[in-house]
């Protein structure tokens, strides 16, 4: 049992004890222990087997936790956890996961209203039965209703980045199965969608049952949902599904095309085919008149047979891929083209690494320039910088620069907050000294469409703002985008020759693919940035690149594919 598993057991234990209103110190002890184990850089199992070492000597891990860890490592489970699980109703657990609700309130709601499902909870809110409860009120009731909506829309979809981790693990596991001759991921994962409902794997094999057995032996499998002749579906963890389909070699391309989707894209493909007297399904492309097969082994021939170039999966949403009459889509953006990263934080505010550490990490990732863009003063939770501290940081950058001469350009930047009342959070004379100015909204996100739009327009028109960061403020599965007139904002960005960010953080991916395509049509340059708060945070660039491809962007549409001096002369005058 690895450290990750052990700490998640303690986390769950803490959750369940919290539901029962147990001693808060005990609960905190489990949470601290979970964190200590998660942060440990060696295996707890190894440590326990070494008689000269003592797990209890690690800060955050007391004697009780040592005993429970031993049981866990030896038996793989914890009787106490099993018992608690059976005592806390599922609906209480699901309620506690609603954003803005939490464990304590979930328990009260369950007790007072005898809820059985989340639907019951919605009805109770709609009938105003929640706001009259002690400790709740109208505001909380509305928060619950909003949270229910978000939770339902999210309905267990996971971030692409998380789906990718799982797909890589499954890929490695399946690699050892000798019966497999061909294997490819399909579905929304292959299309690079922001979130993934389930994973879809296609396999060609010499021995089907051997493949199915091997798949079912994936260590993270929690159960098998179904197993037929050509399909197995397993569950991984609590609720995530992975489908494996076995197909014939000669039909592989057609199956891959079909199961990659999207459904809307496929409907369009079939309509185009029909106009040519052809029928497309998961087994191939056939002439309608006599059922002869004209394509099927590869995706390229499937698309060719209906007169189309091969369409990259990222574009298959029935949005622009059929309209843009491309002869080929080969030039969509690639990670290697990205030369710089223009949004990152350091220990001066809420980042974990110093300027030097970030600079070294950027060089290790092959970049030639970065901008240090810490928060401005209004973002007090992150200890945002006032003009004095910002100028101090810039003096520091001046000192460091010679060390990086010829290796990395370090730009003096700022992520300046756009204030609730409008206007920028730092004086113009200060912003004027920056090499690179980001503007973004962190407060007043629930203001009216007019207010938010006005604030954004003010920022775009400020001569010292270069780029609007995370322009819609959304957090996938957690927070809706702000109400903003994006057309008006893009008009202003275009008129003022400014840039717009594609924030590559897998929880943001802001702008979305539709906005990116709109920006491209207007000739607005996109800057893909990591918004890194640590060295590892710089690795998210590839999620941004995938999102850019979904918007149909090529290297020419993305400003930070240019070297800094070229970008500066093209866009920063």
The residues of the shown chain that bind Ca ion, judged by CB under 5 A, are 187-188, 198, 200, 243
Q: Which does 259 bind (CB under 5 to 8 A by kind): Ca ion, Zn ion, ligand DGT, none?
A: ligand DGT
Q: Which does 262 bind (CB under 5 to 8 A by kind): ligand DGT, Zn ion, Ca ion, none?
A: ligand DGT
Does residue number 200 form part of the binding site for ligand DGT (CB under 6 A)?
yes
Q: Which does 252 bind (CB under 5 to 8 A by kind): Zn ion, ligand DGT, Ca ion, none?
A: none
Does residue number 259 form part of the binding site for ligand DGT (CB under 6 A)?
yes
Q: Which does 261 bind (CB under 5 to 8 A by kind): Zn ion, ligand DGT, Ca ion, none?
A: ligand DGT
Q: Which does 415 bind (CB under 5 to 8 A by kind): Ca ion, Zn ion, ligand DGT, none?
A: Zn ion
Q: Which stretch binds ligand DGT (CB under 6 A): 55-63, 186-194, 417-425, 452-460?
A: 186-194
Query: Which of 308, 320, 254 lies closest to 276 in space, CA to CA?
Result: 308
Task: Give CA–CA dist 558/332, Å, rounded.
Answer: 11
Does residue number 531 form part of the binding site for Zn ion (CB under 5 A)?
yes
CB neighbour list of residue 411: distance below 8 Å, 6 or more residues apart: 342, 369, 370, 371, 372, 435, 436, 564
Does residue number 417 form part of the binding site for Zn ion (CB under 5 A)?
no
Q: Which stretch binds ligand DGT (CB under 6 A): 147-155, 245-253, 254-262, 487-495?
A: 254-262
Answer yes or no: are the C-beta atoms of 254 and 204 closer than 8 Å.
no
Coil, strand or helix at 465: coil
Interface pick for ligand DGT out of 78, 115, 196, 562 (rule CB under 6 A): 196
- CB 88, min distance to Zn ion, A: 38
Query: Which of 283, 410, 280 lies closest to 342 in space, CA to CA?
Result: 410
Helix and strand tally (H, E) in the chain? 23, 17
Does residue number 243 form part of the binding site for Zn ion (CB under 5 A)?
no
Tell me the sheet residues that pair with 227: 232
Nearer to ligand DGT, 156 or 483 (CB): 156
The radius of gyration of the chain's CA atoms, rounded to the nearest angstrom, is: 27
- Residue 262, preceding peptide bond in cis (omega within 30° of 0): yes
Nearer to Zn ion, 379 or 484 (CB): 379
Interface pick for ligand DGT out of 253, 261, 537, 552 (rule CB under 6 A): 261
Q: Which does 314 bind (CB under 5 to 8 A by kind): Zn ion, Ca ion, ligand DGT, none?
A: none
Nearer to ligand DGT, 245 or 339 (CB): 245
Does residue number 506 form part of the binding site for ligand DGT (CB under 6 A)?
no
Task: Give CA–CA dist 396/355, Å, rounded.
Answer: 9
Query: Which of 231, 307, 316 lies closest to 275 in space, CA to CA?
Result: 307
Cα torsion angle, 427, 429, 432, 436, sign: negative
Q: Which stretch binds Zn ion (CB under 5 A): 106-114, 137-145, 414-422, 514-522?
A: 414-422
Answer yes or no: are the C-beta atoms of 513 and 452 closer than 8 Å.
no
Task: End-to-end CA distance of the chain: give it in Å, rounded.
Answer: 57
- Enumerate residues 80-139 that contact ligand DGT by CB under 6 A: none
Nearer to ligand DGT, 140 or 262 (CB): 262
Query: Which of 306, 311, 316 lies closest to 328 in space, CA to CA?
Result: 311
As to burial, measured by CB atoms within 10 angstroms (0-12 exposed, 13-18 middle, 19+ buried), residue 423 is middle
Answer yes or no: are the C-beta atoms of 306 and 276 closer than 8 Å.
yes
Residue nearest ligand DGT, Cβ-based: 261
Interface pick for Zn ion out of 299, 415, 510, 513 (rule CB under 5 A): 415
The strand pair at 467-468 and 436-440 is best described as parallel
Nearer to ligand DGT, 243 or 417 (CB): 243
Coil, strand or helix at 227: strand
Task: Give CA–CA dist 292/270, Å, rounded.
Answer: 16
Coil, strand or helix at 31: helix
- Enumerate residues 262-291 that contact ligand DGT by CB under 6 A: 262-263, 266
Nearer to Zn ion, 3 or 376 (CB): 376
Answer yes or no: are the C-beta atoms of 501 and 471 closer than 8 Å.
yes
Q: Which stretch binds ligand DGT (CB under 6 A): 14-22, 111-119, 259-267, 558-566?
A: 259-267
Does residue number 198 form part of the binding site for ligand DGT (CB under 6 A)?
yes
- CB 415, min distance to Zn ion, A: 5
Answer yes or no: are the C-beta atoms of 303 and 311 closer than 8 Å.
yes
Interface pick for ligand DGT out of 3, 188, 257, 376 (rule CB under 6 A): 188
Nearer to ligand DGT, 182 or 446 (CB): 182
User: Which string of DSSP letters, residue by residue, matches 130-177?
Assistant: STTSTT--HHHHHHHHHHHHHHHHHTT-EEHHHHHHHHHHHHHHHHT-
Q: Which does 531 bind (CB under 5 to 8 A by kind): ligand DGT, Ca ion, Zn ion, none?
A: Zn ion
Q: Which residues bind ligand DGT (CB under 6 A)?
A: 187-188, 193, 196-198, 200, 258-259, 261-263, 266
The residue ranges that bind Zn ion (CB under 5 A) are 415, 531
């Amino acid at each position: 049992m690895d450290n990750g598993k052990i700490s998640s057991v303690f986390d769950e234990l803490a959750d369940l004890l919290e539901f029962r209103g147990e001693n808060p110190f005990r609960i905190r002890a489990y949470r601290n222990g979970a964190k200590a184990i998660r942060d440990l850089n060696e295996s707890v199992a190894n440590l326990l087997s070494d008689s000269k070492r003592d797990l209890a000597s690690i800060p955050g891990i007391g004697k009780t936790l040592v005993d429970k860890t031993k049981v866990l490592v030896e038996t793989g489970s914890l009787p106490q956890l099993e018992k608690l699980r059976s005592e806390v109703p599922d609906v209480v657990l699901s309620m506690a996961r609603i954003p803005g609700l939490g464990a304590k309130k979930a328990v009260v709601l369950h007790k007072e209203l005898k809820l059985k499902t989340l639907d019951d909870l919605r009805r109770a809110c709609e009938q105003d039965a929640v706001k009259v409860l002690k400790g709740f009120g109208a505001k909380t009731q509305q928060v619950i209703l909003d949270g229910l909506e978000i939770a339902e829309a999210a309905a267990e979809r996971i971030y692409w980045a998380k789906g990718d981790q799982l797909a890589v693990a499954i890929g490695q596991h399946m690699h050892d199965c000798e019966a497999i001759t061909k294997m490819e991921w399909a579905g929304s994962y292959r299309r690079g969608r922001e979130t993934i409902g389930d994973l879809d794997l296609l396999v060609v094999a010499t021995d089907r049952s051997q493949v199915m057995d091997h798949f079912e032996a994936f260590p993270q499998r929690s159960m098998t949902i179904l197993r037929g002749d050509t399909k197995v579906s397993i569950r991984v963890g609590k609720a995530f599904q992975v489908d494996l389909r076995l197909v014939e070699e000669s039909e592989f391309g057609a199956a891959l095309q079909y199961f990659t989707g999207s459904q809307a894209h496929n409907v369009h493909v079939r309509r185009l085919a029909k106009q040519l007297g052809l029928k497309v399904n998961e087994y191939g492309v056939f002439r309608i008149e006599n059922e002869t097969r004209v394509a099927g082994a590869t995706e390229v021939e499937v698309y060719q047979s209906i007169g189309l170039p091969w369409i990259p999966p990222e574009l298959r949403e029935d949005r622009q891929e059929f309209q843009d009459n491309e002869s080929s889509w080969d030039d969509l953006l690639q990670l290697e083209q990205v030369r710089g990263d223009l949004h990152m934080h350091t220990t001066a505010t809420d980042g974990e690494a110093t300027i030097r550490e970030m600079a070294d990490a950027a060089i290790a990732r092959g970049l030639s320039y970065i901008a240090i863009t810490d928060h401005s003063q209004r973002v007090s939770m992150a200890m945002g910088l006032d003009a004095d501290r910002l100028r101090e940081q810039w003096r520091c950058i001046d000192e460091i620069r010679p060390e990086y001469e010829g290796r990395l350009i370090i730009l003096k930047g700022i992520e300046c907050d756009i204030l609730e009342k409008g206007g920028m959070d730092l004086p113009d004379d200060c912003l004027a000294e920056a090499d690179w100015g980001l503007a973004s909204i962190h407060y007043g996100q629930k203001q009216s469409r007019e207010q938010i739009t006005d604030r954004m327009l003010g920022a775009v028109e400020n001569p010292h703002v270069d780029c609007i960061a995370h322009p819609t403020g959304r957090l996938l599965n957690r927070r809706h985008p702000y109400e903003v007139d994006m057309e008006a904002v893009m008009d202003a960005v275009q008129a003022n020759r400014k840039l717009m960010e594609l924030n590559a953080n897998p929880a943001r991916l802001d702008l979305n693919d539709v906005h990116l395509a709109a920006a491209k049509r207007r000739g607005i340059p996109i800057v893909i940035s990591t918004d890194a708060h640590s060295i590892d945070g710089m690795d998210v660039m590839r999620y941004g690149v995938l999102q850019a491809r979904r918007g149909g962007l090529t290297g020419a549409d993305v400003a930070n594919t240019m070297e800094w001096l070229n970008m500066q002369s093209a866009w920063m005058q």
